[in-house]
Structure 1
Amino acid sequence: MDDSAETVRIGVLAFRGAETTVSEWSPMLDRLSRSRADRRFELLKLDHDGLRSAVADRRVDFVITNPGHYVELEAEFGISRILTLAGSSTVSPDQAIGSAVVVRRDRTDLQSLEDLRGKSLAIVGREGFGGFQIVWGELSSRGIDPDRDLSALRSVGLPMDGVLDAVERADVDAGVVRACLLESMGSRSANFRVLSPQTPSAFPCTTSTRLYPDWPMAALRHTSPALAREVAIALLSATEGTGPGWSVPADYQSVHELFRTLEIGPYTYLREPTLTDLAERYWPWLLGVLALMASGALYTVHVEHLVHKRTAALRAALAERETLEAGIRAAQEQADHLSRLSMLGELSGTLAHELNQPLATIGNYAASLSRRVDNGRLDDDAVRQATHEITCEAERAAAILSRIRAFARKRTAKRERFRPAQVAAEAIALFRGMLAQAPRVELIDHLAEDRTVEADPLQIQQVLLNLLKNAYDASRDQPAERRALQLGMTAVADGICLWVRDNGPGLDEAARRHLFEPFFTTKPDGLGLGLSICKTIAEAHGGRLTATPPETGPGMIFTLTLPDHA
C-alpha cells in the first residue's frame, strides 16, 4: 500500500467486542482495498458514545451501526445511508433484526413477555437497538413500562455476551440480546430459553419481537459523493465469500415509527412535560407560587396553555412531514419506472450494435463462397474454412445474446484467468477476417510469456475488436503508409494495459470530453454506443478506458487498463 494513499475511515459499532468485530468486517475491508488500491481503508471499533463522538468530530467517513443508532445520527448530524446489510439470500434486508428475551432453561415460571412484570432484566444499555429498544417497544404494546413495572433494569454494556453471563449467573431474571446471537453460541445456547418465541417466515432464528431492517452503511456530510458511490459499487458487486453481503438502502420507516411510539431519539420532543419535570425546571417560580398562590395558579394555567399550543403545532408539522414523505415516495416510484424503461431502450440499442459485427462477418464469408462458386474456385478446404468461421461467428453472436440476457437478469459475467496475448491475437484474426482489404496490425507484446489476468475473455476481446474497428475507420482515408494499426500490451504497477493506436487525423479536446458518452459519435452513420459499452465493460472489471493523443505523430491511442485480481 502506498504510504501517500488517502485513508478512508469506517466506524463500526462493536456490539460483540473488538476481536469479533475485526473478524466480521475484515473481508469487507479487503474487498474495498482491492477495488481501490489508491486508498487505505481503516476500521474503527467503537461503542455507541464513541461512534457518535467520531461522527461529531468528523473522524470517520462512513459508519456501520444498528438501525436505531443510525436514525439518531441521521437526525443529529445529517448522515445518509448508501447500503443495507443483506445477511443471506433467504432473509430480506427489510426484515432482518429482532430481539430475543432469554432466561435460564430451568426458569419454568417465565414463559412470555407478560411474565416479566416485577422481574429484573439485563440490557446492554438504553441506546441498544437490538439490545433493548425493540423489546421496549414490545413491552410498551403490552402495557408494560420497563422503568415502572420491572423490579430492576440493569445495563451491563458492550459486548452483548455480558447479558448472557448475567442471566447464567442468576444476577437477573432475564436478559435482552439480538436475535440469532443465542444460536451462534454453540452448545452454550442449551442453557437458555427464549420468551414468547416466534419463528417468522424465512428468518433462521427465534425471536421475541417483530423484525426491523438490517444495519445500514451511511456516509457523512463531508464524505464526497464520488467516494460514497465507489464504495457502494464495490460492495454491491462483491461475490459470495468476500465478507458481509449488501443491498440497496432499505426503508427505515418502521424504525422511525418505533422511536415515535417510544418518544426517543429524534422524537424526544414529543414528550409532554410532567409535573415533576416542571418542578425540576421551574423550582424558583414554584417557590414564588407557594408565597403567591393566586399568581402561581395563573402562571400554571399560562404554562399549560403554551405547552398544548406547542404540542399541537408539532403534531401539525409532523403530519405535514408525513404528507411530504408520501409525495417523495410516489415520485421515487415514478422515477424507478422511467429508469427501467430507459434501460430497456439502452439494451435494445446495445444488442443491435454488438450483433452487427458477427452478422457482417457471416455475410462476408457467405458472399466469399458465392464468388468462389461463380469463379469455379470452390474446393473442400475453402468450404471447410468458411463454414468454420461462420460457425464461430454464429457462436459469438449467441454468446452476445447470452451476455445481454445475463445482464438483464442481473447476472455477472464469467471471469477466468487467461493470457492477454492469446485474446489479443484472436481479436486481430477476427478483425482482419471481417474486412476484404484489412490493414496491417502490429502486435507489440511487452508482457511476460506466462502473464495472466482475471477477466471475462469474451468481453475483453469485444473491447479490442471495437477499438480496432474504430482505429480502422479513423485511418482508412489516409495514405497507405498511415493505415497500419498497432495493438500493444504493457505491464503497469497494479495490472496491465492493452492499447490500440491509429495514425488518423486524431480528435480535438472537445470531442475527447464526450467520447465515452452514450450516443455521441464522430461518424456520419455511427450509433454512438460502441465506446460507451467498452467503458462500461472496463469499469465492470475494476479498470478504465482512456483516449489520449500520442506524444509524437498523428492519430489517437485508446488504452484499456485491467487490474490484477487476487
Structure 2
Amino acid sequence: MDCVAGVFREVDARILLLTFPKSSVMQIKQILVSVCSFCFLSITMSSYAAGTSPEIDTRPLLRIGYIERSFSPFERKGFQDTFEYLQRELPQYRIRIQNYLVRDLERGVRNNEFEFFIGASGFYRRVFRRGLKDLATMTTPMAPDPNEAVGTVFMVPNDSPIKTVADMRGKRAAANFERGFSGVYVPLGEVAAQGYDPDNFFNEIVAAGSPMKKLLLAVQDGRAEIALARACTVEELKQTEPELVAQFRPIGLKANDGQFACLRSTDLYPNWTFVATTMAPWQASRDFTVALLSMPPTKDGVAWGVASDFLKADELYKTLRAGPYAYLRIQSVGDFLQKYWPFIVLFLMAVVGMMWHGRRVSHLVDVRTRELRQSIQKEKDAMQEVQSTKERLSQFERVSVIGAMSSLLAHEINGPVSAISNSCNALDRYLQDDDQHSPLIDKTVQLVLRQCERITSIVTQVRRYARHEDLAREPIELGSALEKIVSVMQMRYRKVKFELRRPPEDVSICWNPLEFELCLTNVMKNGAEACQVQNEAKVRVVLTRHEYTAEIAVLDNGQTDAKTLENASVPLRSGKKSGLGLGLLIVRTLIERASGNFSIVREAGHTVARIRLPLTETNNGADAG
C-alpha cells in the first residue's frame, strides 16, 4: 500500500486521464515500467529496513536522506537504480533511505539525523558551512557534464505579451518551492545578471509544488503569469504531455555551447550531489565514493561523476545576498534594524527586564539584610537585657537572702542571748553579796554582759537592714509590668510557652518595682523549670482584679507532687541541685512586707502559685465610683 500511495503521490491522476486515450503504447509502457520499478525498490528497501532474518543484523546502519518531491520522473528512476546498485555493491552495510521535505532535510543536516544525503548543488552549498563533503555528482545523457546540469527555463503561454526577461518585471511567477534552488535562486540570479533588482523584480513568487506540470497548471489557472521550470523537465513533460507543453513557449533562451541538450534561460550549475555528513564513518565515505564513481550507466544513461565547480553556486548566493551570504544584506544600521528589529526588541526587553529584576533583587536583598540586621540587633539587645536583668535579680536575690537569713538569725539568736544576759545579771547580783570571790570573776561577768549588749545591738541593726526600711514604694500597673516579665521569661525558656491573661482595665498596686520583679520572676522561673521536661510545656499567668485586691496566679503543667510543694515552703530545703531553698522564703517575705500573702497549691493537674496584693487608693476609688 505504501508503494501504491507513493506512486500516486508523484504521478498525478489527472495525467493518466489526460494522456491515456492519446498517448502511444510506448508511453504507457514507460509509465508501467516506472511504477513497477518504484514498487520493487520500495519493497526492497522495506525488506532491508525491517529485516527478514530472525538473527540480529550487526552491520553498520547508514541512513541516506533525500527529497523525492524534487525529482523529475527521469531522475527518480535514476535514483532508484542507484540505490539498488549500492545495496548490491555494499552488502557490509545496512542502507536505509529516508524521504524529507526541503526544510526537514535542512533540519536533519543540522541535527545529524543521517550519514549521507542527496541534494541539489544549491542546497549543498547553502548548508556547506556545517562541515559537509561532496562525494559524487549525477550525470545524465542530456547533462553529461556534472558541473553544468541545473538551470531554469522561463515558460509563458503562447498568447502572453511577455517576450523578454525585462517584460517579466512586476509579474507573478510560479516556482516549485519558496526556497527552491532551480525554482527561485537560479531565476533571480539571471534577473540580477541582467541588471535588475532581484528583491523587487517579481510581484509575487507562487509555490506551486512539484512536478513541473503543476507550474504550467498554475499559469493556466491564473495564479501566475510565468512558470520558472527546471531545465530538462520541459523535455520530459513533452514526452507525456505534448499538448500541454505546446501551449507554452520559452523566453530568454541561452545558447548551449557545451554538451547540455535542454532549453535554458539561465546559467548552469552542478547537478544532484551525493554528500557525506560529519556522522559518516571515513570507511563508509570511501566505500560509497568508490561505488558511485564505479557505477556503470543505467539503461537510461544515469551515472555519477565528480563536480569540480561549486563556485558558481557560491557566487549566486553571494550575488543574491542569500543563504550563507545573507549577512551581506546588512550594510547599514538601518538594514540591521530592519532585518533584526524583532530580535532587537526582544533583546532590549530582556535587558530591561534583567535590569529591573536585578534592581528588584538588589532592593529585596537590601530589605532582607536590613531586617535581618535589625532582628539580630533586637535579639542581641534582648539577650543583653535578659542578662542584665538576670544579674540584677541575682544580686538582689543575694541581698534578700542575706536579709532573710539575718531576720532568721536575729529572731532565733535573741533567745540564747537573753538567757545568757539574764544568767549573767543573776550571777552578778549573787556575787555582790559574796565578798569572798575573786575580782576576776566580776570582770568576767561584766565582760559577758557587755558582749551580750553588743550582740543585741548588732542584731537590732541587722534586723533594721533586713526590713529595707529605706526602699521606696511606687504605683505599679500590673498588666504592662507582667507583659515585660513574661516577654523576658519567654526568651530565657524557649521550650516553654508563656501565656498572659489580663483584664482590659488597668490594675495598679503600690510596691517597690524591684521587689515585685524579683518575686514574679522567681515564681515564673520555678514554674518553667518544673514543666520544661513536658512535651508541651506551658506556663499561664492570670491577673484578676477583685474589689480591694489584685491576684496574680502562675500556673504550670509540670508534674510536681504534694511532697515537693511542701518542701518548697521549708527554708534551706530545695529540690534543685543548685538551689538553696531560700527562693520562696524570700518571695513570701517580700510579699508579706508589702501587705500581701503568698500560697502555692496543686489544682486540677497544675501547680498554682497565688500572690494577693492590695490595690492602690486610685483603684479603690474607681471601684467605689
Question: Shorter-chain TM-score: which interval?
Answer: 0.3 to 0.5
Query: Quick check: which has more Rg, 1 or 2?
Result: 2
**TM-score, normalised relative to structure 1:** 0.47
**TM-score, normalised relative to structure 2:** 0.42
